[in-house]
Chains A and B, each alone.
Chain A
Amino acid sequence: MAVKVMIPTPLRAFTDKKDAVILEGKTVGELLGRLTTQHAQLKKHLYADNGTLRNFVNVYVNNEDIRYLKYEETPVTENDVVSIIPSIAGGGTAI
């Protein structure tokens, strides 16, 4: 099943500047696994060394946080949009 995964600006440097990637998978975990295989540099930004998703990266299926669904086991279907939302701190005060 092909599902769209939205890539946020800070991580586009690791996806050849693509803002979205279409991937095959039945669960969020499968999609993220494919994503980090295709774009290996992304892995350390999404996963801690112990293989869990990092605390400052949230993943949503449509507008729901997967932590309140079934984490990486959350099923996805064709019309779903998966979003990766990292924390950003910028306020433009200092550059």
Chain B
Amino acid sequence: MNSLSETKDASQVQLSRDEIKRYGRHLLMPEVGLEGQKKLKASSVLLIGAGGLGSPAALYLAAAGVGKIGVVDFDVVDHSNLQRQILHGTADIGRPKLQSAAERIHSINPYVVVDLHQVRLDSSNALEIFKNYDVIVDGTDNFPTRYLVNDACVLLHKPNVYGSIFRFEGQASVFYADKGPCYRCLYSEPPPPGLVPSCAEGGVFGVLPGIIGTVQALETIKVLLGIGNPLIGRLLLFDALKMEFRELKLRKNPDCPVCGTNPTIRELIDYEAFCGIPPAMPAEGDAKLEITVEELKMKLDGGQDVFLLDVREPHEYEIANLGGTLIPLHDLPKRVNELDSSHEIVVYCATGIRSGKAVKFLTDVGFRKVKNLVGGISAWAEKIDQTMLSY
């Protein structure tokens, strides 16, 4: 395959004496060499997200000498990021991720130009941001942005280096509609909200994004240099527990709505709506079915007889609990007869997502006095009992 940055004038790029020393191990390899190293310097890569996948990708792309690295993120560094997001350190907690990302990239390689985009990526800004880069690296954590990144890359004829993780499992591919399938050829539609557990519920093994994000960096560099066989038309699957890599064949779908022969999507759409996410806040459900931590505290302090139901997993219960009866969400259907529907029941989990599902299940099977604790045990730890461990 031809390199992408050939369209740019790599021949006009010069490497300084210091850069020649820095990239010496690349220059020794004919597959990279001086010409390839100049191509990398003439090229630009946009990272969507400076999180678990974006971190290792950014570090390696910077070290390899990609000339311009753009980063899109609007988040600030939180304690719970540090287990895997290696762009950020303990001292960065509370700072914008872009700041620590830029500092880390520059500390590795001062020759890299870093472009910071502190915005929430959406249909109004994606094309404008993407058009200035050769390759887009997708390290997002949600379906609307995945489809947005895919469609924008297809419309702009740019390769989308894809990575995704869940618990111990990862996926990677290169979606490049000009040469193979796109993400929509693989999955034409996202799952409805709530059907597939999110990382916030399922957790993620910290080293896993290190593997997948590094695969993304590697594929990006191959695409930029035009060497080897990139993951175009192939989906790489990684199982960390088995330490097993597998590969599936992907085909271009002629009926694909965005890259098929008669595309119906010719501009960016409303991706939140496409993914079934209602405007404003994701529905936590009916207000009657909710209770705040403050309201629960008043009830408990007032000696009211409230049955607390904890629908998390036993290992989460060990970290912190409100003294509730533990029935993990997935066991609820078969253990529902342990509950007394005449009692007032307050269901909680870590953040209110799983308990929301439990409340829906319980009301569906006829429970009438059941409420979801808004914000879950995290809200309790923040607002009521600061000595409680939050995770």
Interface residues of A (CB under 8 A from B): 8-10, 13-14, 41, 44-45, 54-56, 58, 60, 63-65, 68, 83, 85-95
CA distance A9 to B166 in the complex (A): 8
> Top 4 closest A-B pairs, CB basis?
A92-B52, A93-B51, A90-B199, A55-B189
Q: Is B168 an interface residue (CB 8 A)?
A: yes
What number of residue pairs across chains A and B have CB atoms under 8 A from each other? 128
Interface residues of B (CB under 8 A from A): 49-54, 73, 75, 80-81, 84-85, 138-143, 146, 163-169, 171, 186-191, 195-200, 202-204, 208-209, 235, 237, 246-251, 330, 333
Q: Which residues of B contact A87 (CB under 8 A)?
A: 143, 164, 186-187, 190-191, 196
Do B209 and A65 have beta carbons less than 8 Å apart? no
CB distance from B232 to the nearest CB of A (A): 15
Chain A's closest residue to B330 (CB) is A13
Do A91 and B141 have beta carbons less than 8 Å apart? yes
| A to B CB contacts below 8 Å, 19 in the list | A10-B196, A10-B197, A13-B330, A14-B330, A58-B186, A65-B251, A83-B248, A85-B171, A87-B187, A88-B165, A88-B171, A90-B164, A90-B165, A91-B53, A91-B54, A92-B85, A92-B199, A95-B80, A95-B204
Chain B's closest residue to A17 (CB) is B330
Chain A's closest residue to B143 (CB) is A89
CA distance A45 to B191 in the complex (A): 9
Chain A's closest residue to B186 (CB) is A58
CB < 8 Å: which of A56, A63, A86 contacts B248?
Answer: A63
Q: Which residues of A contact B166 (CB under 8 A)?
A: 9-10, 88, 90
Q: Which residues of A contact B53 (CB under 8 A)?
A: 91-93
